Protein backbone atom coordinates (compact mmCIF):
# COMPACT_ATOMS: atom_id res chain seq x y z
CA UNK A 1 0.00 0.00 0.00
CA UNK A 2 1.17 3.53 -0.75
CA UNK A 3 2.45 4.88 2.58
CA UNK A 4 1.57 8.42 1.51
CA UNK A 5 -2.09 7.49 1.25
CA UNK A 6 -4.02 8.86 4.25
CA UNK A 7 -5.64 6.06 6.26
CA UNK A 8 -9.35 6.25 6.99
CA UNK A 9 -9.94 6.42 10.75
CA UNK A 10 -13.08 4.28 10.48
CA UNK A 11 -14.21 0.91 9.14
CA UNK A 12 -17.67 2.00 8.05
CA UNK A 13 -19.35 5.26 7.18
CA UNK A 14 -23.09 5.49 7.78
CA UNK A 15 -25.61 8.18 7.09
CA UNK A 16 -28.37 8.45 9.65
CA UNK A 17 -31.40 10.70 9.46
CA UNK A 18 -33.61 12.00 12.26
CA UNK A 19 -37.16 12.75 11.18
CA UNK A 20 -40.45 13.54 12.92
CA UNK A 21 -42.78 16.41 13.78
CA UNK A 22 -41.51 19.81 14.83
CA UNK A 23 -40.76 20.03 18.56
CA UNK A 24 -40.46 16.30 19.28
CA UNK A 25 -36.81 16.82 20.24
CA UNK A 26 -34.74 15.66 17.24
CA UNK A 27 -32.09 18.38 17.66
CA UNK A 28 -31.94 17.83 21.42
CA UNK A 29 -31.45 14.05 20.99
CA UNK A 30 -28.62 14.67 18.56
CA UNK A 31 -26.94 17.34 20.70
CA UNK A 32 -27.27 15.17 23.81
CA UNK A 33 -25.59 12.33 21.92
CA UNK A 34 -22.74 14.31 20.34
CA UNK A 35 -22.10 17.08 22.89
CA UNK A 36 -23.82 15.71 26.02
CA UNK A 37 -25.70 18.96 26.61
CA UNK A 38 -29.38 19.96 26.69
CA UNK A 39 -31.09 23.26 26.00
CA UNK A 40 -34.63 23.95 27.30
CA UNK A 41 -34.88 26.68 24.66
CA UNK A 42 -33.58 24.73 21.69
CA UNK A 43 -34.42 26.65 18.52
CA UNK A 44 -36.40 24.99 15.75
CA UNK A 45 -34.18 23.68 12.93
CA UNK A 46 -34.15 25.66 9.69
CA UNK A 47 -33.73 23.21 6.83
CA UNK A 48 -31.13 20.59 7.72
CA UNK A 49 -28.18 20.39 10.08
CA UNK A 50 -25.67 17.60 10.64
CA UNK A 51 -23.11 16.31 13.09
CA UNK A 52 -20.47 13.62 12.89
CA UNK A 53 -19.82 10.98 15.51
CA UNK A 54 -17.71 7.82 15.59
CA UNK A 55 -18.75 4.89 17.73
CA UNK A 56 -17.40 1.41 18.22
CA UNK A 57 -19.86 -1.29 17.27
CA UNK A 58 -18.89 -4.98 17.32
CA UNK A 59 -15.19 -4.05 17.26
CA UNK A 60 -15.62 -1.80 14.22
CA UNK A 61 -15.20 1.95 14.16
CA UNK A 62 -18.33 3.35 12.63
CA UNK A 63 -18.35 6.96 11.59
CA UNK A 64 -21.86 8.35 11.38
CA UNK A 65 -23.04 11.51 9.72
CA UNK A 66 -26.17 12.36 11.67
CA UNK A 67 -28.65 14.52 9.79
CA UNK A 68 -31.11 16.57 11.79
CA UNK A 69 -34.03 17.58 9.58
CA UNK A 70 -36.56 20.33 10.23
CA UNK A 71 -39.96 18.97 11.28
CA UNK A 72 -41.80 22.03 10.06
CA UNK A 73 -43.98 21.48 7.01
CA UNK A 74 -42.52 24.45 5.13
CA UNK A 75 -39.12 22.74 4.87
CA UNK A 76 -40.49 19.41 3.66
CA UNK A 77 -39.48 19.71 0.00
CA UNK A 78 -35.94 20.58 1.04
CA UNK A 79 -35.56 17.86 3.68
CA UNK A 80 -36.87 15.11 1.37
CA UNK A 81 -33.65 15.19 -0.67
CA UNK A 82 -31.64 14.09 2.36
CA UNK A 83 -33.07 10.57 2.37
CA UNK A 84 -30.74 9.57 -0.44
CA UNK A 85 -27.90 7.37 0.77
CA UNK A 86 -29.22 7.05 4.33
CA UNK A 87 -28.69 3.61 5.88
CA UNK A 88 -30.53 4.43 9.11
CA UNK A 89 -33.53 6.53 10.07
CA UNK A 90 -34.70 7.46 13.55
CA UNK A 91 -38.39 8.32 13.44
CA UNK A 92 -39.03 10.43 16.53
CA UNK A 93 -42.29 11.34 18.32
CA UNK A 94 -43.10 13.04 21.62
CA UNK A 95 -44.80 10.73 24.15
CA UNK A 96 -46.62 13.76 25.63
CA UNK A 97 -48.17 14.90 22.30
CA UNK A 98 -50.48 12.37 20.71
CA UNK A 99 -50.61 14.22 17.37
CA UNK A 100 -46.89 13.52 16.89
CA UNK A 101 -47.67 9.79 17.28
CA UNK A 102 -50.73 9.94 15.03
CA UNK A 103 -48.66 11.52 12.27
CA UNK A 104 -46.13 8.66 12.15
CA UNK A 105 -47.81 6.88 9.19
CA UNK A 106 -47.24 10.03 7.11
CA UNK A 107 -43.56 10.08 8.04
CA UNK A 108 -43.23 6.45 7.09
CA UNK A 109 -44.89 7.17 3.77
CA UNK A 110 -42.32 9.88 3.17
CA UNK A 111 -39.51 7.41 3.92
CA UNK A 112 -41.00 4.98 1.39
CA UNK A 113 -41.29 7.66 -1.28
CA UNK A 114 -37.89 9.30 -0.90
CA UNK A 115 -35.60 6.40 0.09
CA UNK A 116 -34.08 4.25 -2.62
CA UNK A 117 -35.87 0.91 -3.11
CA UNK A 118 -38.98 2.16 -1.31
CA UNK A 119 -37.22 2.30 2.04
CA UNK A 120 -36.73 -1.49 2.17
CA UNK A 121 -32.96 -1.31 2.64
CA UNK A 122 -32.97 1.36 5.30
CA UNK A 123 -32.98 0.50 9.01
CA UNK A 124 -35.77 2.32 10.80
CA UNK A 125 -36.16 2.78 14.52
CA UNK A 126 -39.11 4.38 16.27
CA UNK A 127 -38.09 6.66 19.14
CA UNK A 128 -40.47 7.92 21.83
CA UNK A 129 -38.81 10.98 23.36
CA UNK A 130 -39.37 13.04 26.56
CA UNK A 131 -39.87 10.12 28.96
CA UNK A 132 -38.76 12.47 31.75
CA UNK A 133 -42.12 14.26 31.54
CA UNK A 134 -45.06 13.36 33.76
CA UNK A 135 -47.86 14.19 31.32
CA UNK A 136 -47.32 11.16 29.13
CA UNK A 137 -50.24 10.40 26.79
CA UNK A 138 -48.89 7.67 24.49
CA UNK A 139 -48.08 4.47 26.38
CA UNK A 140 -44.97 2.40 25.76
CA UNK A 141 -47.28 -0.46 24.76
CA UNK A 142 -48.86 1.64 21.99
CA UNK A 143 -45.47 2.73 20.70
CA UNK A 144 -44.12 -0.81 20.74
CA UNK A 145 -47.20 -2.22 19.01
CA UNK A 146 -47.08 0.32 16.19
CA UNK A 147 -43.33 -0.18 15.67
CA UNK A 148 -43.78 -3.95 15.63
CA UNK A 149 -46.57 -3.71 13.07
CA UNK A 150 -44.16 -1.84 10.79
CA UNK A 151 -41.20 -4.14 11.45
CA UNK A 152 -39.30 -1.45 13.29
CA UNK A 153 -37.35 -1.44 16.53
CA UNK A 154 -38.79 0.62 19.37
CA UNK A 155 -36.84 2.68 21.88
CA UNK A 156 -37.67 5.40 24.37
CA UNK A 157 -35.42 8.18 25.60
CA UNK A 158 -35.09 11.59 27.15
CA UNK A 159 -32.75 14.16 25.68
CA UNK A 160 -33.18 16.07 28.94
CA UNK A 161 -31.98 13.36 31.33
CA UNK A 162 -30.03 11.44 28.61
CA UNK A 163 -31.70 8.15 29.48
CA UNK A 164 -31.83 5.89 26.41
CA UNK A 165 -30.01 8.30 24.10
CA UNK A 166 -26.87 6.31 23.31
CA UNK A 167 -29.00 3.17 22.79
CA UNK A 168 -30.78 4.87 19.88
CA UNK A 169 -27.55 5.26 17.93
CA UNK A 170 -25.96 2.02 19.17
CA UNK A 171 -28.99 -0.05 18.11
CA UNK A 172 -29.26 1.70 14.76
CA UNK A 173 -25.59 1.16 14.10
CA UNK A 174 -25.65 -2.51 15.10
CA UNK A 175 -28.69 -3.13 12.89
CA UNK A 176 -27.14 -1.36 9.88
CA UNK A 177 -23.96 -3.42 10.36
CA UNK A 178 -26.07 -6.61 10.39
CA UNK A 179 -27.57 -5.67 7.05
Judged by the rule CB under 6 A, the positions of this chain that interact with ligand GTP are 22-28, 39-40, 42, 44-45, 70-72, 129-130, 132-133, 158-160
Question: Which residue, 11 or 132, is less far from ligand GTP as judged by CB?
Answer: 132
Closest approach of Cβ 87 to ligand GTP, in Å?
21
Question: Which residue, 2 or 73, is less far from ligand GTP as judged by CB?
Answer: 73
Question: Which residue, 28 or 91, is less far from ligand GTP as judged by CB?
Answer: 28
By the 10 Å C-beta count (0-12 exposed, 13-18 middle, 19+ buried), 25 is classed as buried
Query: What is the C-alpha to C-alpha distance for residues 81 and 63, in angstroms, rounded to an integer?
Result: 21
- Residues 6+ away with beta carbon under 8 Å from 60: 11, 12, 177
CA distances from 138 to 130, 135, 155, 162 (A): 11, 9, 13, 20
Phi, psi of 172 (to 5 degrees): -60, -50
Closest approach of Cβ 96 to ligand GTP, in Å?
8
Closest approach of Cβ 19 to ligand GTP, in Å?
9
Question: Which residue, 22 or 61, is less far from ligand GTP as judged by CB?
Answer: 22
Amino acid sequence: MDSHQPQADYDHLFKVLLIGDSGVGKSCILIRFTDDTFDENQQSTIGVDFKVSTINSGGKNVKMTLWDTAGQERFRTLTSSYYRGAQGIALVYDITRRETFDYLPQWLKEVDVYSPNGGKDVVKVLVGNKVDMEDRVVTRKEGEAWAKSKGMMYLECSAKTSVGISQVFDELCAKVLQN
